[in-house]
Structure 1
Amino acid sequence: MSRTKKLGPVARFRERGGVSLRKIRAEIEKSLKQLHVCPQCRFRAVRRYSVGIWKCRKCGFTFAGGAYTPTTKIGMAARRLKKTET
Structure 2
Amino acid sequence: MSVDISATETLDVKGENCPMPVVKTKQAIDDLAVDDVLEVVATDSGSMSDIAGWADTTNGVELLDQVEGDDVYTHYVRKTE
The TM-score normalised by the length of structure 2 is 0.24
Greater relative contact order (CA < 8 Å, ≥ 6 in sequence): 2
Q: If each structure's strand is expressed as a fraction of its own residues, which one has the higher value?
A: 2
Q: Which has the larger radius of gyration?
A: 1
The TM-score normalised by the length of structure 1 is 0.23
Q: If each structure's helix is expressed as a fraction of its own residues, which one has the higher value?
A: 1
